[in-house]
């Protein structure tokens, strides 16, 4: 699958080149695995395979960019000024999507939203959003105690896999005393809480 029809003005080879320019080998290979997993999930759940492929491949394009570039983009694009208080973990998704739009000429909002939402999710998630979020969590090289359970859930239900992963992410942040971007609490309330 090398052509993306009207979804992107560049082909996959160009994106691969750009990823290699911007990422070390380890992170680049992670992107390939997330792409493969996203395609697999899109086929399984009958979602748009091309969008899953592009968003999965590019989701971490900005992961190793300097902080100054994100801060400049937050100001230039008039994004939520509170974003400045966070770091690369939050920026490479939410702010990264703006950089990807400009540098890789991608303007398909379904793809950009999946990239925006891949770290903290969102109360509203399309199937492509869910697929990229889940693929990032369960790609073949992931190895943490709960990954088998996450993979099992992802075979039958995107929503159950999402819920599991958001809860796990939040638990990780709390256990490690990491700063919480409030949006993930909204995601938690939407996807994890069982009764309101």
CB nearer to Fe ion: give 156 or 183: 183
CB nearer to Fe ion: give 161 or 194: 161
CB nearer to Fe ion: give 48 or 60: 60
Stretch of 11-19, 58-66, 96-104, 170-178 contacting Fe ion, by CB under 5 A: 58-66
CA distance 98 to 115: 10
CB nearer to Fe ion: give 9 or 103: 103
Site for Fe ion in 59-78 (CB under 5 A): 60
CB nearer to Fe ion: give 9 or 20: 20
CB nearer to Fe ion: give 5 or 154: 154
Question: From the CB of 93, what's the least distance to Fe ion, in Å?
Answer: 6
CB 162 within 8 A of CB 144: no
Question: From the CB of 141, what's the least distance to Fe ion, in Å?
Answer: 11
Question: From the CB of 33, what's the least distance to Fe ion, in Å?
Answer: 9
Question: From the CB of 103, what's the least distance to Fe ion, in Å?
Answer: 17
CA distance 39 to 124: 21
| Residue 152: partners with Cβ closer than 8 Å, 6 or more residues away | none
Kindly write out the interface string for residues 3-42 of this chain, putting x where it contacts Fe ion by CB under 5 A and - elsewhere.
----------------------------------------
Q: What is the maximum span of the chain, computed from C-alpha positions, in angstroms?
A: 47
Stretch of 37-45, 56-64, 97-105, 188-196 contacting Fe ion, by CB under 5 A: 56-64
Q: How many residues bind Fe ion (CB under 5 A)?
A: 2
Site for Fe ion in 125-164 (CB under 5 A): 136
Give the alpha-carbon dihedral of 55, 118, 43, 167, to 10 degrees: 170
Reading the block at residue 16, the tokens are 């691969």
Q: 3-class SS at 85?
A: helix
CB 187 within 8 A of CB 130: no
Cβ neighbour number for residue 135 with a 10 Å cutoff: 28
The DSSP element (H or E) to which 56 belongs, if any, is helix 49-58
Reading the block at residue 12, the tokens are 């996959």
User: Which chain residues interact with Fe ion by CB under 5 A?
Assistant: 60, 136
């Amino acid at each position: 699958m090398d052509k993306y029809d009207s979804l992107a003005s560049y082909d996959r080879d160009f994106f691969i080149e750009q990823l290699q320019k911007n990422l070390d080998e380890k992170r680049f290979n992670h992107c390939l695995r997330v792409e493969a997993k996203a395609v697999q999930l899109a086929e399984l759940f009958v979602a748009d395979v091309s969008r899953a492929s592009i968003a999965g491949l590019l989701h971490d394009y900005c992961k190793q960019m300097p902080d100054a570039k994100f801060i400049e983009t937050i100001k230039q694009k008039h994004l939520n000024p509170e974003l400045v208080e966070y770091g690369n973990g939050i920026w490479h998704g939410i702010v990264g999507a703006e950089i990807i739009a400009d540098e890789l000429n991608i303007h398909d909002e379904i793809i950009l939203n999946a990239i925006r939402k891949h770290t903290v999710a969102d109360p509203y998630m399309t199937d492509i959003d869910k697929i990229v979020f889940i693929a990032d969590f369960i790609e073949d090289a992931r190895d943490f105690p709960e990954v088998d359970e996450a993979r099992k859930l992802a075979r039958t239900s995107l929503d159950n896999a999402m819920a599991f992963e958001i809860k796990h992410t939040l638990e990780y942040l709390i256990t490690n005393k990491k700063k919480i971007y409030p949006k993930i609490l909204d995601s938690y309330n939407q996807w994890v809480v069982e009764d309101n």
